[in-house]
A and B are shown apart, each in its own frame.
Chain A
Amino acid sequence: MQLYKNYYQELFNYGVRIARNEELTRDSIHDLFVHLWSKDSFEGISNPKPYLLKSLRYIIIDGLKEDSLMSGHIELPDVALSTEDIQINSEINEASSLKIKSALTKLTNRQKEVVYLRFYNGLDYAEIAEITGISNQSVRNLFSKAIRELRNQMLPIVVLSTLLHVLTN
């Protein structure tokens, strides 16, 4: 129960981003824990987060495939990262905030997922590779590109703030 309570929010938030469907996410979390509890030994795993996220991801993708077969077209998981999900640091002005938001929402699906797992879930590259089923190096590259994108948007801000800093001192 503790495991469920501790990880529900994180699982739900991740799930709903790839499933884009609250019902499916809730059902998938349900299925995940029903499965886990049929095995008593799970409590012994010292770092359950990556394992839980990975399992949830599979269950959701499977659910999505089923859905799409039924409705006749295939929809692959797509990471939802909308401007409402992004909170910009209050020190950053509005014009730059918009730029950062647009840079983040324009990332590719894979990049969004990696950024999400790294920033929001606090997972490391190896764990992200494990969850998404891509190589460690690919995670590194995806993250690197995403960050570069972000930096390009930030560049004028940083230069400006440094300049202000110099001027005011």
Chain B
Amino acid sequence: MNYSEYGVDDFLNDESFQSFALKQKSKDKVFWLEWIAKNPTKKNEVDEAIKILTSFSLKDTTHSESIIEADLQKLQNAFDQQKKSRVVPIGPSKFNWRIAASIALLIGIGIAAWQYVTYFHSKAEKVIVQKDVPNGKKLTFMLPDGSLVKLNGNSSLKYEQNYLLKQRKVTLTGEAYFEVAKDAINPFIVISGDLSTVALGTSFNIKAYADDPQIEISLLTGKVSVTSIRQSSPEEYFLDPGDGIRYTNENSEIITYEFNTEEVMAWKNGIIKFKNASIKEVANKLERWYGVNIQVNNPPDQAWKLNGSFENESLENVLKSISFSTPLKYTLNDNQLEINFLK
């Protein structure tokens, strides 16, 4: 479709554009925000189309909670009764004629529903593919649609095998860098903890380890939308390249900020980087990076922060460097690392 030749009427009749203007689907929003940014000459047409589509909205006929509750109760009763008797009750009732009339119709719907349901069931035999990366390892692979994923240590990615047939949806725990293959129709969705990230053709990094108190999403190129999947009508955040989002698991708080590319992407390039890192952050990172379990004895106080980067260094060298500034002793047996800080 050649959008650059679109007039107002074309925009108005474009389903995807309507969906964008009416704030219906994230993928359309992502697509059009990106398109509008790239095509500033179309601003007038776009603005007019949006103005027309948003000139009105249709109000809810509000229905009191008590009526809904009453109807639900009635339904529950009918359902319980049906369970007992295993047939639709056709006892004498005020609405008898309607139930009777509905039965014939419901049989028809029943057939449709049955076909619908069996159709979905045949599809529902889902095969889940799971890629796991242990501590100390990294894994780069390609998804069936051509998107590239680089998984960091102690991370896993899950997706359905028939991933291409439906939406492109993956579930991440841990940290991964994505280079999403372009597909304007099928959005690429990453679920990580409470957050859902929707992209069309972009590259971004998500850090969502279960033992970290927060999730961080950093956008490198393109555009993504991030929403919380825990709220029923969540706020939607759109990131531009260079934007990062930090979600605190405990209180569901979201903040956006400009991130440091070098810092975020260091892991992907074999560089372990610390910036004002606490002893806990350091230990977590080293555990994931080198595949060890770390026990810290006599840890330094809150004020202790580590800065520095190590490119393809051995664990011992990293520990030695740290010991220059903060005296420590360590013992490494198999995968057990014990660090003793000396006062």
Contacts and interface: CB of A to CB of B under 8 A. Distances in A.
A34 B22 contact: no
B82 A87 contact: no
Contact of B113 (A30, A42, A84, A143): A42
Contacts of B67: 26
Given A1-B72, A51-B116, A122-B24, A16 B55 contact: no
Contact of B13 (A4, A119, A140): A140
Contacts of B106: 31, 35, 59
Interface residues of A, number: 61
Contacts of A92: 55
A158 to B, nearest CB: 5
A155 to B, nearest CB: 9
Contact of A34 (B60, B79, B116, B117): B79
Contact of A63 (B24, B98, B117): B98
A39 interface: yes
A29 B67 CA distance: 13
Contacts of B79: 33-34, 37
Interface string B48-87: 1001111111111101000110011011001100100000
Nearest to B53: A147
Given A44-B121, A62-B101, A39 B109 contact: no
A134 interface: no
Contact of B75 (A4, A84, A120, A122): A4
B8 A84 contact: no
B13 A143 contact: yes
A91 B67 CA distance: 35
A12 B57 CA distance: 17
Interface string B88-132: 100000010111011001101110011011001100100000000
A132 interface: no
B19 interface: yes
A36 B108 CA distance: 13
A62 B105 contact: yes
A68 interface: no
A85 B63 contact: no
B44 interface: yes
28 contacts: A4-B75, A5-B68, A13-B61, A27-B95, A27-B98, A31-B98, A34-B79, A35-B109, A51-B113, A55-B113, A84-B59, A87-B56, A87-B58, A88-B56, A89-B57, A100-B56, A101-B56, A119-B58, A140-B13, A144-B13, A147-B13, A147-B52, A147-B53, A148-B9, A151-B8, A154-B51, A154-B55, A158-B51
Interface of B: 8-9, 12-13, 15, 18-19, 22, 24, 44, 48, 51-61, 63, 67-68, 71-72, 74-75, 78-79, 82, 88, 95, 97-99, 101-102, 105-106, 108-110, 113-114, 116-117, 120-121, 124
The 9 closest A-B pairs by CB, nearest first: A120-B58, A122-B24, A41-B117, A87-B57, A35-B106, A66-B101, A31-B102, A62-B105, A147-B12
Interface of A: 1, 4-5, 8-9, 12-13, 16, 26-27, 29-31, 33-39, 41-42, 44-46, 51, 55, 58-59, 62-63, 66, 81, 84-89, 92, 100-101, 104, 116, 118-120, 122, 124-125, 140, 143-144, 147-148, 150-151, 154, 158, 161-162
